[in-house]
Every structure is written in C-alpha cells, then in structure tokens.
Amino acid sequence: MEYKYDLDRLTALTTEQRNAASRNIDRLSTEGIVRLIAAEDSKVVEAVAQQVPQIVQAAEMITAALKDGGRLIYVGSGTSGRLGILDAAELLPTYGVGDDMVKAVIAGGRDAVFAPVERAEDDYEAGQRDVEELGLNHRDVVVGISASGRTPYVLGALHTATKVGAATIALTCNSPSAMEEAAQVTIAVIVGPEIVTGSTRMKAGTAQKMVLNMLSTTVMIRLGKVYQNFMVDMIPTNLKLKNRAQHIVAETTGVSQEEARHYLEAAAWNIKAAIIMAKAHCSLQQALELLEQSEGVVGRALEIAGA
C-alpha cells in the first residue's frame, strides 16, 4: 500500500524552501561557498537548543523503556535512516550496548545504507512490516527520524508502534507535521531552508545527528554507563581502547598506570569492576556483586561498599 499524502504541500515545507542567502551560491568563490555553509550551520546549534525540553522528555522516555526491558528502535529513510544506524552501531564499542537493546531500521534495508533506494521511503507497509519483524512490543520505544516529518515508511512504523502500545518519538525539522500527530513526543528542530534547496543531508542532517547524540548519550549516562565523565562500559577491543581503559582506572582511582593494568587484567578488562576493586580493595567476585546490587552504577556500588 502506498501511504496517501498531499504532494502539493511538500514544497511548502520549511526544508523545501529556497534560502535567500544562497540564491547566487553558484557564482561564489570556493571561500565564499564555505563561509556561507559555515554561517548557515551555525544556526543549527540554537535551533537544537530550542528543543531541549522535548529532548529531555524523550530521553526520560527512552531511559524508562530500557530499564523496563524494552528496546530503542530508530526508524528512518535516506540520510535520516543512516544517522539512526550510525548512532545505534556506535553504542556497542562506546557503552557495551548491542542490538538486543538498540536497533535501527532503514527504508530499503541494508542496501540503502550504502546506496540510495529512494522509492523505499514511500512504502508505508514496509515501515509497518519492518518493525513488526523485530517483535515490536509495548515495552519498546520507536524514534521516527525524518526531516520532512511526513515520510510514509516512518509513519508506518510509528502507527504500528502506537497500535502495540510502544512509546513513540518523532525527530523532524518541520512543524506541524504528520509525524507530530503520530508521536507522543516530537522534537522539531527548525533549521530553515538549506543552502542547496531541499538537500536535507546538510543542516537538517546535522541537527538530527546532534539530537541523536544528545538522546543516546544522556540515556547511557542515566543507565550508569558513565562514571564521572568516563565511558566505563566501553569494550576494550584493541590496543588504543585498552590504553584508554587503563587511563580511566588510573584517573578515577588514583592508582598508577601499572596498577590500573593489573586490576583490569584481573577483572578480564571489565572497567567498572576494576575501578571498584581498586577503590574498595575487594576481589573481582565482590566487585561484581556490588555492581549487581547497584544495577551497574559504579558510584552507587562504591557507596554500598563504603556502607
């Protein structure tokens, strides 16, 4: 089924308007083009800041869902879909979170990550089907990502999420929008017209990347995957990351680099456990028990150990 929407309204979207500042961009020098892009990009930060209350609401919704055993599911097409996939993929090495907790789907499937599958975004039923195949349930939260706010594929996913009782969030760069009507929380970052008309991989894409960073990072911190300001659920899979893990343990506990490595090796490179072992002067088994009691929050585990 092709989702019905008014194509006449497409050109009325903010992201489809012509940018007065770039009407003659094709006549500018290389420096002129770059300076104009930089000037337009500077507007994105303020536009994102305007949506902080909605971002906070969305982050709390996602945190609650993950604590309840649910999953975070990003849905998008084109640039928006690729940004969702990027955010989800980076959570495993950074915070130890895999696709059992955070998933991302894109219109057109895996091939669309590397090459355009433009017609896929119009497939409303594919959006429904793709989230259904994930076993979508009431504990999950679906984040629909679309610069226009009217992508049929994303709307199919959001409407299906609503039917099963899952939480729904819309991330868009237009308001009002069909996605706003379909979601419980809407983050509408109004960045204005692009310097190349309709090229939403630019300011709109930058805004979406910023918001996704803010959402996932805030959620990971709230879930206890950061101690002080260090990534303590990071998976040290290479020499660089092992060196970083050693620095984290030394910095947070005051032990030497050599001692930090000793604790990490004893803890099988579990950074959280190594920190607790060093600070609470306990065994690996005791450190793991403290982490279990504290739901994985290092600061809380150390408080329990101190008590």
Give the model confidence (pLDDT) of 262-275 as tens digits: 999 999 999 999 99
| Cut 0.75: pTM above it | yes
Residue 166 pLDDT greater than 80, yes or no: yes
Q: What's the 3-state SS for 136-176?
A: CCCCCEEEEECCCCCCHHHHHHHHHHHHHCCEEEEEECCCC
pLDDT tens across 100-127, in order?
Answer: 999 999 999 999 999 888 789 999 999 9
CATH architecture of the domain formed by 7-222? 3-Layer(aba) Sandwich (3.40)
What stretches of 111-256 show up as alpha helix (H) in DSSP? 111-114, 124-132, 152-164, 178-182, 203-222, 239-253
Segments making up each domain of the chain, as ranges: 7-222, 229-306
229-306 shares the fold of 7-222: no
pLDDT of residue 119: 87
pLDDT in tens, 41-51: 999 999 999 99
Residue range 229-306, CATH number: 1.10.8.1080
pLDDT of 307 reads 82
Structure tokens at 229: 């300001």
Catalytic residue, chosen from 16, 60, 90, 259, is 90
Quick: pLDDT tens for 15-40: 988 998 899 999 999 999 999 999 99
Of the candidates 72, 219, 64, the one whose C-alpha atom is nearest the C-alpha of residue 134 is 72
Query: Active-site residue 60, yes or no?
Result: no
In this prediction, what percent of the chain has a pLDDT beyond 90? 90
**pLDDT of 3 higher than 60:** no
Question: Is 259 an active-site residue?
Answer: no
pLDDT of amino acid 300:
95
Say how far apart CA 152 and CA 126 lie, in whole Å. 9
Q: Which of 70-79, 165-174, 231-240 has the lowest mean pLDDT?
A: 231-240
| 12 confidence band (pLDDT: 50, 70, 90) | confident
How many other C-beta atoms are found inside a 10 Å radius of the C-beta of residue 189? Answer: 26
Preceding peptide of 93 cis, ω within 30°: no
Considering just the CA atoms, what is the radius of gyration of the chain in Å? 22
